[in-house]
Structure 1
Amino acid sequence: MIQYPESTHIDSLEIKIMEEQAYCAHIEAEPDGQLWNADIKKYLEKGEYPPESLANQKKTVRRLANSFFLNKEVLYKRTPDLGLLRCVDTEEATILLGELHVGACGPHINGFVLAKIILRTGYYWMTMEHDSCRDAINARYMGI
């Protein structure tokens, strides 16, 4: 053990217990009302950053844009194995989640498996895991 001199003050750690896992604490909707991929699309199309963005925010947009591919109006996310996942908005994501729960084992799928199935079918959105967890819980309680 290391002994600290009495004049040294060590701040205590604050531990916060969350209601749900950290990966489920995503932002539900964008504060400015745009789609989650609007800034990335704009950067890939025109090379423009969001208005009034700081240098750090511009760097983040550039870094995120490296893993996306724009084909005309359709945005795709690149996967590590060089596959492409089609990026969808919230309306399309809701339809996808509903269609995946129609099958015989649909209500018994947990959120993580549901997210993996969505990835395997070739779709992507930022809050996919959170939405899948929430949808799986809702389907279980509603008896769908």
Structure 2
Amino acid sequence: MGLHLSLAMDVKDFQIIGDSDLLIHQVRGKRATKNEKIIPYVGLVQRLVDRFQEVQFKHIPRNQNEFPDALATIASMIQHPDSKYIDPLKIKIKDQPAHCAFVEVEIDGKPWYVDIKIYLEKGEDPEGIIINRKKTIRKLANGFFLNKNVLYKRTPNLGLLRCVDFVEATRLIEQVHAGTCRSHMNGFC
């Protein structure tokens, strides 16, 4: 998903960091991929990597990569009745990036993030803003990223969340609750 998002954002140079030295060598074509379950994934990554101008691979040992290590720990805690069986991993690639939104109705009819977007676009404060609000906007702008006309919020794990207005957020929530994006994993509605 990160490769697809980067391509959609017209990223030219890309660095891939992984904790599996073997997988990195397989994607680079320096080692053969023998596991039938990961052959399609390696092939997909190889095709996507070819679309960048420059790609670097970097190996980080698992003990220095806390997030994937935590995921591996959780995965190792799940027991399957047949210990020799591994559930296949099914990944569906969507044409659109994932969206995350928590919004309220805008009083002035403008999106909640309009001042931050203006600041990032022009490099100057929006007109008619008081000094305390200007300071707040400047501080908040550090946590956002503007790509073309789309504003993203940076997350602590270096992910990007697309900022949406009330109308788009409502549409997305209706799609999720209507089952467009499948049912909720834990059954809550």
TM-score (norm 1): 0.52
Distance (whole Å) between structure 2 residues aligned to residue 90 and residue 107 of structure 1: 26
CA distance in 2, matches of 1:48, 1:76: 19
Over 3 Å counting, the alpha-carbon distance change for 1:104 and 1:84 in structure 2 is closer
Unaligned runs of 5+ in 1: 1-25, 110-135, 137-144
Unaligned runs of 5+ in 2: 1-101
Alignment RMSD, CA only? Answer: 2.4
CA contact (8 A) 1:100 1:106 kept: no
- Measured in 2, the distance between the counterparts of 1:104 and 1:84 equals 24
How far residue 64 of structure 1 moved from its aligned partner, in angstroms, is 0.9
Q: Deviations over 1:6-45 (max 9, x none)?
A: xxxxxxxxxxxxxxxxxxxx98323322111110100000
Aligned partner of 1:87 in structure 2 is: 163
Distance 2:167 2:108 in 1: 17
- Aligned equivalents of 2:168, 2:159: Cα separation in 1: 20
**Which one has a larger percent helix, Structure 1 or Structure 2?**
1
Q: RCO greater where, 1 or 2, for CA within 8 Å and sep 6 or more?
A: 1
Report the Cα distance in structure 1 between the residues aligned to 2:165 and 2:103, rounded to whole angstroms. Answer: 14
Runs ≥4 residues deviating over 6 A: none
- Aligned CA distance change for structure 1 residues 106 and 96 (closer, same or farther; 3 Å): farther
SS in 1 for 2:153: strand
2:103–2:112 Cα contact (<8 Å) kept? no
Identity within the alignment, %: 56
Give the counterpart letter for 2:156 in structure 1.
P
* Distance (Å, rounded) in 2 between the aligned partners of 1:95 and 1:27: 12
Do the aligned residues in 2 keep the contact of 1:42 with 1:48 (CA within 8 Å)? yes
